[in-house]
Amino acid sequence: MPPPTSTTVSSWSCACRVHWVPLGATGGASGRLSVVIPPSQHTAARLADYRGPVPARSFADDIRARSADQLTRLIVLRPDVAHPAPADVTALAARAATRGSTARALEALPADRLRVLEALLVSPTDAAALLGGADIADVVEDLWDRALVWDSPDGRVPSRAVGEILPFPASLGPDLPAPADLAERYAALPDEARRLLDRLAWQHPRATVEGVVAEGIPALVDAELVVREDDNTVVVPRAVALHVRGGVLYADGLTPPEPAGQIVQQVDATAGMAATELLWQVESVAQLWAEDPPRVLRSGGLSVRDHRRTASALGLDTEHVAFVLEIASAAGLFADDRQAEPSFLPTRGFDDWLEASRGERWRQLADAWWRTVRAPSLAGSRTEAGTVVNVLGPEASWPLMRTRRHDVLTVLGRLPVDFAPSVGSLDALLHWSRPLRLPPGAPTHTGVVLREASWLGLVAHGALSSAGRAIVAGDDVDLDELLPATVDRMMVQADLTAVVPGPPDDSLHRLLQCSAEVESRGGATVYRFDEDSVRRALDSGIDAAELRERLTAASLTPLPQPLTYLIDDVARRHGRLRVGAAGSYLRCDDPALVATLLADPSLGALGLRSLAPGVLVSRMPAATLLDLLARAGHSALAETSDGGVLVTTRQDSARAPNPAPPAPVVTRSTDSAAASALVERLMSAQQRSAEAARPGEPRIPHTEPSDTLSILQEAAADRMPVWIGFVDASGDLKRALFHPERVDGGRTTGLVGDTRRSFSVHRITGVVPA
């Protein structure tokens, strides 16, 4: 029985006018249903601005008929249509209709909006029923705001570009003929064939089978429930798939996945401690590399040997150290020194970073991680060519990783505070939030992002910290307030250990870093003093008296006698050799030691010779002499020309130039104020064009080639005429009322009056719908 010409769907929250549009004989389908949906009741705040679903002749007419507020919202939701600024509203409509802009808008849709759009592609009339009877009025309104659907004479339907980008909505096949007794044929299928059809109906509509005959396929073909395209390919008609699915597109309708996880405690405290440790790790790398800079590989990056050496010095695994190095370098703290034999060194910017507060240093590292395209997790893997990806090398760059960081932390930010979802649950939420960007089976790298964010202090125990929420929201919060309180005192014990009951402040941390070794970490950190650590403190320019004084001032207890004896003993043997520059000279008050140096064959390369009692000279520079003596096991100090001790300044003066700032991340976003100002200009331009036009002939503004192509494609699809300005063969600028029929290969063909003409798109200067 033919359907009625109009009816009312009472299952929706408001009345919907439904039309039956005959399509003629299309292989069993005699028509299609469409629906006109009025706005949702709870969008009353925009009812005064809403002009109602007045049918438009074309997609461009729908855009041009929108109010200033509606155009402003469109630009805010789809900022790419305003970059560069279009000439007028017609150009804006043309840009919104392009495949590129539409694809970007679709990629930004969460699954619920995408599913409603797919339902409208399948059947505007039955869209709600296809989604399990869900109330879709608000979603349809939002899709209209985004110009992904428009008010056609047949109701609200997706734009032409949406249909081109989503040729198989909800993985449904083409609308091929299906048998009238579909239910009976399906019920009569053998079990194997029915199971096969059930799988195909929920997957891609076109399937490749092995061989000419595959188990179950002949029965489906005989029942006319699948159609063979060729010997190896079958297609499931849309009606068959919908029957198998029970008349719905998705089993879960518009219901997002429920996150599985738990509420965790001490998130900010743990995150703050992780951030504090990261600051210390960056300082440790700077000290290590300033004293012994690693070479830059010829292909760029850090060698595997230097990577492991740095990891061993910091007591971390190589993956963690790769993260520290990459993020610190992205923040401009380490760089290639650009010498003839380049090395990695701390930059001059590192010294400025070191003077900032802890919160400011943390913010700089967090911002670098948020914006960088570097992927530390790639270090140690192999490229397609089989070469190893080195830390700081060019291969460790992957723009997709930045997108994943943003996606993962944004989804975490939507969950309750201190809620830690499982990795699998977070993956499901990511796929729901960006179904086109993350199709089923696409890797999310969630675990990698969570691990990096936990090292940075943006995530702790799997939950987003307050600092993480601030980074995601772009809030300028004081991160110092989120860091744990520090202590400036310690308890030095007779067994040459010191216990720091909490995170040490910068002054205490740097004192212990140069004079002691970390023995254990936990609620309190235990440091141990030994001969090497004390010598390291003396090498930095601190004499024995100053070291005792600083340790005594920081200790809650008197300095124990064993530590005092250790400092004095090391100091007595420290610095007996003095190195200066003259080629270089070496001064020593111990004649026996001088004789030993002159007789040592391993020091022959120094070219030492006696200049006076206790004074030797060398052809080597002072810095080289210091290094070679140290390697031979002799402790020496540099001195000034007046005999004073010269503090070894390598870690202060050995600095790489600050690297050039990374190219800014181009993000196309437009706030409401900027969008409103642009809309005012566009509407003014549209009005001026209308006033300047001759009666019956509109003014034809210049349009960009991409906009011209989009308008012509829309006009050809809708069988609508357009006015075009074009340059003829003689170079004259002319205009014509053109009825485009086909647009392809950079040319458009159609009628001008009764004459069929073809124009090159590049010769068309402007186009405007008639």
Looking at per-residue pLDDT, the higher value among 380 and 654 belongs to 380
Helix (H, G, I), strand (E, B) or coil at 167: coil
Residue 5 binned pLDDT confidence (cut-offs 50, 70, 90): very low
| Separation between Cα atoms, residue 522 and residue 212, nearest integer Å | 67
Dihedrals phi, psi of 24, to nearest 5 degrees: 80, -170
Measured distance between the N- and C-terminal CA atoms of the chain, rounded to whole angstroms:
40
Question: What average pLDDT does the segment 631-657 reach?
Answer: 66
Please give the Cα distance from 526 to 539 (Å, whole number). 23
Inter-residue contact 359 to 480 (CB < 8 Å): yes
Cα 43 to chain centroid distance, Å, stands at: 33
CA dihedral 593, 595, 601, 605 (to 10 degrees): 80
Look up residue 289 and give its amino acid: W
CA quadruple 742, 748, 752, 755: dihedral, nearest 10: -80
Residue 342 or 50, more confident = 342
Local structure of 7: helix, strand or coil: strand
Which are the contacts of 109, defined by CB distance < 8 A and separation ≥ 6? 117, 435, 436
Residue 31 pLDDT grade (very low, low, confident, very high; cuts 50, 70, 90): very low
- Tell me the pLDDT tens digit for each residue of 441-488: 788 899 999 999 999 999 999 999 999 999 998 888 889 888 888 888
DSSP 335-357: EE--SSS-BEEEBHHHHHHHHS-
Q: What is the pLDDT of residue 134?
A: 92
Is domain 693-769 annotated with CATH 1.10.510.10? no
Q: Which residues contact 397 (CB under 8 A, 6 or more apart)?
A: 373, 374, 375
Work out the mean pLDDT of the chain and round it to a whole number: 83
182 vs 203, residue with greater confidence:
182
For residues 619 and 609, what is the distance between their CA atoms, to the nearest angstrom?
9
Structure tokens at 259: 């996150």
Is residue 55 predicted with pLDDT exceeding 70? no
Q: What is the DSSP string of 587-626?
A: E-S-HHHHHHHHH-GGGGGG--EEEETTEEE-SS-HHHHH
Amino acid identity for residue 654 in this structure: A
Q: Which of 118-127, 190-199, 320-329 has the lowest mean pLDDT?
A: 190-199
At 561-599, the pLDDT tens digits run: 999 999 888 888 887 776 655 678 888 888 888 888 888
Residue 638, amino acid: A
Average pLDDT of the residues in 149-176:
90
Q: What's the pTM value of the predicted model, to 2 decimals?
A: 0.73
Instruction: Read off the amino acid at residue 748.
Output: T
Spatial contact of 134 and 128, defined as CB atoms under 8 Å apart: yes
pLDDT at 392 over 60: yes
pLDDT score, position 40: 35
CA dist., res. 88 & res. 451, Å (int): 48
767 in Cβ contact with 708 (< 8 Å): yes
